[in-house]
């Protein structure tokens, strides 16, 4: 049976070079980075080199990069500490953020009594910036805006430069969940007025369980996890050294090959869009994912011309044919609820039809896409 992996927005295949680097770290450089002997010093040196490498690529300072277990921890840490330490009384976000943001904000609302404002969305899921400005100017409370750069379900790309400028002009802090964009887009944190960003290595061909937060210098945030003095006192716990060097290797290779790999994946998505339109009449792309110029090049979200009952068997059928994709964020698997993102932008009639997210990487081929679309077409026609 042919095996096709088109769920790269959930996680990506780990590069061979990353695996080799991690194996070396586990076998040879196994000292605790906090130990003062040569084994520990060697590991510590490599941790700090990874931090410097990431910072240089982002045009940040090394002290602004904090290693975490991934994007969820980084989002939680930033939002919680901003309320606890910086006097944030109002968080402005949207209803189509990742649950790492939405559920954290909901908990902060209960625990601290903060105000929460949700930016209105247009018909395709973009936040309305005029409404954002209204929310920023609503009162004089200390505010933080949290809007993701690339939506993980429909692929819309928010103009975070414009959002950053608006936040700066109104004295608000700006946090962006950039898990779906770091490793896929060039970054310069000196030109984008963002205070906090988050990343996860497994979204750009690195290991799971490791990521980082960008926290702008002199932010005033204090540690969320306390204990030892790791991460310059900001995040206690022995550093997962093998994961950190795996993150560094994946990060370096992502940016070394960014132009060529972006071109490859863009061509795959363009081909996929064209073939779906040609082979599956009635299929509709949700959000802006069908627009090559206005959405990320890494995914497409397709609404298929099937009734609800038949649609219930679609993912199972694809899996049986060796095709991996998803009906939304992998973090929602096991839930019988539909996509909270699509619920915000589609009508009840549109939601009754099955929608699937197909996300691409450099490891995919046009043959993968032909096979997938053929299986979809056959299922729809039966």
CA separation for the pair 268, 291 (Å, rounded): 14
CA separation for the pair 150, 160 (Å, rounded): 10
Q: Distance of alpha carbon 116 from its chain centroid, rounded?
A: 22
Question: How much of the chain is in helix, strand and coil states, percent to nearest 5?
Answer: 45, 15, 40
CA separation for the pair 173, 196 (Å, rounded): 8
Strands 196-200 and 211-215: antiparallel
Catalytic site includes residue 331 = yes
285: which strand partners?
Answer: 302
Distances (CA, A) of 251 to 61, 149, 197, 248: 16, 18, 15, 5
Structure tokens at 173: 């802090």
Backbone angles phi, psi at 206, to 5 degrees: -115, -175
Return all residues near 150 (Cβ < 8 A) that are at least 6 apart: 156, 157, 158, 178, 180, 181, 184, 185, 296, 298
CA separation for the pair 134, 229 (Å, rounded): 42
Nearest to 220 by CA among 187, 173, 170, 165: 173
Active-site hit among 81, 167, 325, 331: 331
What sections of 59-181 are H helices per DSSP? Answer: 71-86, 99-112, 129-136, 160-169
Structure tokens at 347: 């009508």
CA separation for the pair 51, 210 (Å, rounded): 13
- H/E stretch holding 284 reads strand 284-285
Dihedral over alpha carbons 248, 251, 252, 258 (to 10 degrees): 180
Task: List active site positions.
Answer: 331
């Amino acid at each position: 049976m042919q095996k096709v992996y088109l769920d790269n927005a959930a996680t990506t295949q780990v590069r061979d070079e990353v695996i080799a680097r991690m194996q070396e770290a586990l076998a040879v450089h196994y000292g605790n980075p906090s130990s003062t002997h040569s084994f520990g010093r060697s590991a510590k040196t490599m941790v700090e080199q990874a931090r410097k490498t990431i910072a240089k690529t982002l045009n940040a300072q090394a002290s602004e990069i904090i290693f975490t277990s991934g994007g969820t921890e980084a989002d939680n840490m930033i939002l919680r500490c901003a309320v606890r330490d910086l006097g944030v009384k109002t968080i402005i976000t949207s209803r189509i953020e990742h649950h790492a943001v939405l559920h954290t904000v909901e908990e902060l609302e209960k625990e601290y009594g903060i105000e929460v404002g949700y930016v209105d969305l247009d018909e395709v899921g973009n936040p309305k910036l005029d409404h954002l400005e209204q929310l920023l100017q609503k009162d004089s409370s200390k505010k933080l805006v949290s809007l993701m750069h690339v939506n993980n379900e429909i692929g819309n790309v928010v103009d975070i430069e414009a959002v950053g400028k608006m936040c700066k002009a109104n004295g608000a802090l700006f946090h962006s969940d950039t898990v779906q964009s770091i490793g896929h887009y060039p970054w310069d944190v000196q030109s984008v007025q963002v205070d906090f960003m988050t990343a996860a290595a497994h979204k750009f061909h690195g290991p799971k369980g490791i990521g980082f937060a960008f926290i702008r210098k002199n932010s005033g945030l204090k540690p969320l996890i306390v204990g030892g003095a790791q991460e310059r006192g900001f995040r206690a716990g022995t550093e997962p050294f093998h994961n950190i060097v795996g993150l560094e290797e994946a990060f370096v290779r992502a940016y070394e090959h960014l132009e060529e790999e972006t071109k490859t994946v863009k061509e795959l998505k363009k081909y996929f869009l064209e073939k779906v339109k040609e082979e599956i009449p009635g299929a509709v792309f949700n959000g802006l994912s069908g627009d090559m110029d206005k959405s990320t090049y890494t995914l497409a979200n397709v609404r298929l011309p099937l009734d609800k009952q038949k649609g219930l068997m679609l993912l199972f059928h694809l899996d049986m044919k060796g095709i991996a994709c998803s009906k939304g964020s992998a973090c929602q698997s096991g839930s019988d609820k539909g996509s909270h993102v699509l619920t915000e932008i589609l009508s009840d009639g549109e939601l009754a039809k099955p929608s699937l997210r197909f996300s691409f990487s450099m490891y995919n081929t046009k043959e993968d896409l032909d096979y997938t679309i053929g299986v979809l077409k056959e299922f729809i026609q039966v």
